[in-house]
Chains A and B, each alone.
Chain A
Amino acid sequence: MDFLTNLDLVMLGSAALSIMLGLFVGMLFGALPGLGLIIGVTLLLPLSYAMSPVNSILMLLACYQGAEYGGSISAIVLGIPGTAMAAPIVLDGREMAKTESPGKALAYSLYGSTFGGIFGGLVLIFFAVPVARFALKLADPEFFLLGVVGLLAVATFGAKDFVKAMISVALGLLAGTVGLDLFTGSSRLTADFFELYEGLNLVAVAVGLFAFSEVFMMLSSRINKAYTFEAHHMKISLTFREMLGALKAMISGSAIGSFMGVLPGVGSTVSCWLAYSTAKATSSTPEKFGKGSGEGIAAPDAANNATVGGALLPFLALGIPGSASIAIIAGAFIIAGIQPGPQMMRNNPELIQTIFIGFMATTVGMFFMGKALTQVFVRALVTPNSFLVPAILISSLIGIYSSKGQFFDLWVALGLGIAAWIVRRLDYSVAAFVLAMVLTPIIEVSFRRALVLSQGDYSIFYTRIYSQVILVAIAVVLGFAVLKTVRRLRDARLAATTKEVTQ
């Protein structure tokens, strides 16, 4: 009731506008092949400087939700997934678009996304407070170890090459140490540039690594290619019977998405494929999968959007972001001077309640905006990259400059963009880099504060029961990484031998 009495119409209006802006940008960037979720979130981040913390957080969350659905639009209409997470939707979405109608396929996608979003939101609402309450029992050694396990998981599960992913993580952590040391006030790795005393600008780093490098990637392909499609039968609606038919798939997809979202480094790319195969295995009509099954569209879409709520859980409750997108959303908290985690849940309950309600509002908003504007986003698909590239470049440059008003940051972003364009093609992970950079303060401060408190005694990291549990998790992740690397080397050797034999 406290929350309701504090409601302010102006606040409500500005929050609604922020959500609509986030949804619009998210759906648009999700729909356009090659752009996607992270670039959408990255380009919106600088606006956080001119907004209230709540509005900027809701805008970025709406963008996240919108992009998850937007990725399915191009998957269904063009057969090209707008995001990696929408890849399984091509299988049935494209087929249904050809044999029945694109509108029906988009409707399955939208209904699935909305169901998944609400399911993920409920998971977040019901579990965030208990998890945060439990997290109050954790101390610095555990937070340090949680940060480490998060980074190891991202390097192991979210990247192709473990060694290169670990180098990316180490470089990200190194980038996070640039600037004044929080403990002693001495400057580190600033090379006497006063612009670096507050550390590297997260907006410049994120835009450089994601937006600039993606633009250079786009330039390395045919940029004048215009997609064509027939925009007939675009009515986005399902009958009650059709909706009921896909309900089981939506529930299983949402449960998988929420669970996988909580795990760092796994995210929607894995959960959507798992949701697809689970829906197929449990369906009463598995023979329809791959031939235009509504369940085959709804399940992965529900998983994608449920992942958002799941991914927010460890971030809000523990302060540990588990993916690059959440790390960039964490930027909005950093800009507002808010430290997510159990203390925020305890000391700032109004903010948490607003985020929860706003999160559900983003899902509902996504449904209505999807119904009303999907046809607009479909038409945007014909925009060739030759128009998109300069537009993205200029909005990126203004975004970086507006964050701190420093030209230095623009040069940093350009340099990082060029470097990322080269190393991304060698399987380095820019997502792991950004995540590590955001996690650096948590990891370093927890590590050093624990040591100061224990007067330099390292046993503080393994004597408490919670630390021991997290250490076991670290051992499991490392074991998996070793197995994965050995398997990769064996496959590479086998491929080389086969190549030699055939020659």
Chain B
Amino acid sequence: MSIRTMNLIVYAALSVLSVLVIRAVSEIPVTMPGDVGSGFLPGFLAWLILGLCGLGAVRAVIAGDVGAFTSEYLGRVLITIAVIAGFLLSWETLGYFFVQCFLFQFGLFTYYRWPHGPSARLFAVNAAVAAGITALCYVTFTFFVFVDL
């Protein structure tokens, strides 16, 4: 995909967001004399974003194609996002944070370091680092920050 296309997609998405904001705040009444009301600033900003997106879109079209919008290792980023989402869902529904914290890190370490080649040492190092970080989190957040995870 070209940078111009990506720019236009983002402008379109922001324009849709702005329209939704304008619709959401248009019904808010003004209750205080002299005041512009609760909806004024969000509404004004949404119109401003619409205008700037229009300006940006015209500029993007005039400027022409300036290169490709690519991302190296896209699969790795998407898999990581999916793993984070899975971890959040699992934490929210099952609990046992510190067990899951260890598994989350061990899984990611192993996935990222897989190109080194699977070996007993790799798994042992990954498990040791994951356990160390989990222990540090446990001590910090249980005894110093007092958060019930």
Contacts and interface: CB of A to CB of B under 8 A. Distances in A.
A456 B34 contact: yes
Contacts of B72: 220-221
B41 A173 contact: yes
A148 interface: no
Contacts of B46: 174
A430 to B, nearest CB: 14
A462 interface: no
B147 to A, nearest CB: 4
Contacts of A47: 145
A186 B32 CA distance: 13
B12 interface: no
A142 interface: no
Prevailing SS type, chain A contact patch: helix
A444 interface: yes
A219 B73 contact: yes
B88 A407 contact: yes
Contact of A166 (B52, B73, B92): B52
A394 B10 contact: no
Interface string A416-434: 0010011101101000000
B24 interface: yes
B129 to A, nearest CB: 6
B34 A414 contact: no
Nearest to A454: B34
A211 to B, nearest CB: 12
A233 B74 CA distance: 41
Chain A, interface size category, equals 35 or more
B25 to A, nearest CB: 7
B77 A219 contact: yes
B52 A170 contact: yes
Contacts of A219: 73, 76-77, 80
A164 B6 CA distance: 14
Interface residues of B, number: 68
Interface in A380-408: 386-387, 389-391, 393-395, 397-398, 401-402, 405, 407
A465 interface: no
Nearest to B56: A163
Contact of B147 (A167, A186, A401): A401
Interface in B83-128: 84-85, 87-88, 91-92, 101, 104-105, 108-109, 112-113, 115-116
Contact of B35 (A164, A183, A428, A496): A183
B135 to A, nearest CB: 12
A228 interface: no
A183 B105 contact: no
A452 B52 contact: no
B36 A451 contact: yes
A301 to B, nearest CB: 31
Contacts of A174: 21, 42, 45-46, 49
Interface in A201-250: 215-216, 219-221, 223-224
6 contacts: A224-B113, A390-B130, A390-B133, A426-B6, A426-B7, A447-B41
Given A174-B46, A219-B73, A414-B81, 15 more contacts: A170-B48, A184-B37, A188-B25, A189-B24, A387-B129, A393-B108, A394-B133, A397-B84, A402-B145, A426-B69, A447-B41, A448-B40, A452-B32, A455-B33, A456-B35
Interface of A: 46-47, 49-50, 163-164, 166-167, 170-171, 173-174, 177, 181, 183-184, 186, 188-189, 215-216, 219-221, 223-224, 386-387, 389-391, 393-395, 397-398, 401-402, 405, 407, 410-411, 414, 418, 421-423, 425-426, 428, 440, 444, 447-448, 451-456, 489, 492, 496
